[in-house]
Structure 1
Amino acid sequence: MDSARRLPERRLAIALAVLALAGSGMAGTVPAAAAPAGRTAPAVDAQGQWDLARLLREVAAQDNRRRRFVERRFVAALDTPVDARGELRFIAPARLEKRTASPHAEVLALDGDQLSVDGPAGRATMSLRQVPEAAALVEGLRAILAGDSATLERVFVATLAGGAADWHLRLVPRDPRALRLLSEIRVSGRGGELDLVETDQTDGDRSVMRILR
């Protein structure tokens, strides 16, 4: 059924963070400058520089439309973690879907500023305008899609470690309201490919998603 039930804010924050960030490795929106046709620009320049701007350009140049994922959710109220698996999809121009196949079927979709969840309990919808702190998180994470390091760093304190072959990015929300929902996001990958997305909520819940090639 289609209901107007509100999504819990904490679940919303982590769902949006994972979906927006995982989707950033799937939708190419910014062509790599000065790259031959069919290729992206190299991740490292002649001086061996590897920084946030380079990383975002590499990620933004990806054009994969579907990726499988496996996810482990640690919920404070549960004694054992919950394992999930499914598929991530990007549908042009701006729709991202997380289609979970197990442990139960669920479709989480972000289309513009509208979030919807279809699952065993029915359908729930929400506008990002209803939760400004979550909207700010999504704005920052969508900056990765656009290769926009200025917006990303306006929303998050971004710390990049490692090199092109094995990088690790830590994102901490700057907005105190957002920090009440989500304490940090950690992303690991190689070149423009995202391999691992970890999200920590302030209530102790956390999620570890591995994106499969």
Structure 2
Amino acid sequence: METLAGVTRMRLVGGNLALDFTNTRAGPPVGSPDDDVLTGYPELVAWGVYAGALSEPEAEVSRRLSRDDPDGAHAAFTRSLRIRDDLDEVFRAVAAGQSPSGSVLARLRDDEADALGHARLDRASTFEWTWRDDQTLARPLRPVVHAAVQLLTTGALHRIKGCRGCRFLFHDESKNRSRRWCSMDDCGTSEKIRRYVAARRTRATS
């Protein structure tokens, strides 16, 4: 299994494939991102395997296609960054209780139409869309786009939130919708330490 340096650094804390894809770019909760694990098409494929969007055999097909068509791979990677920007805009607006722009929703609609144009219906416990026959350079993006549309059309939008400690987005699956952090092991723990240090400083000066 291919794991390129940096791809597995960021935890999959979004609770949804599309949110985890958006979270490949990290940073403070306000302002510009300061870290990005998607630096090229090989990293996009490696992330797809890491996040469960691609099987290893499917990833090997994508890697072979990229070697045969480097310009096409670059175009697919550029498209992935545009899709990530669109998903970031959509889900950040939803998390803030606002409506995304009509233009970004139109692009997402077109991306979903393209994804389903390369899909097939397979039977599991119910019928579901799969991309087992899709051997194109855009294959890693298909399930991401579909997950985004599924979340927007069938999910509980009030459970889509932004972490208070970083720019990550997540789907709050807690029973009382009280989750505030992308992860208690990361931002949650950092906030606890900050409060503890602040409390000790206050006691020391009082």
Point out the structure with the larger strand share: 1
TM exceeds 0.5? no
Point out the structure with the larger helix share: 2
* TM-score, scaled relative to structure 1: 0.29
* TM-score, scaled relative to structure 2: 0.30
Question: Which protein has the larger Cα radius of gyration, Structure 1 or Structure 2?
Answer: 2
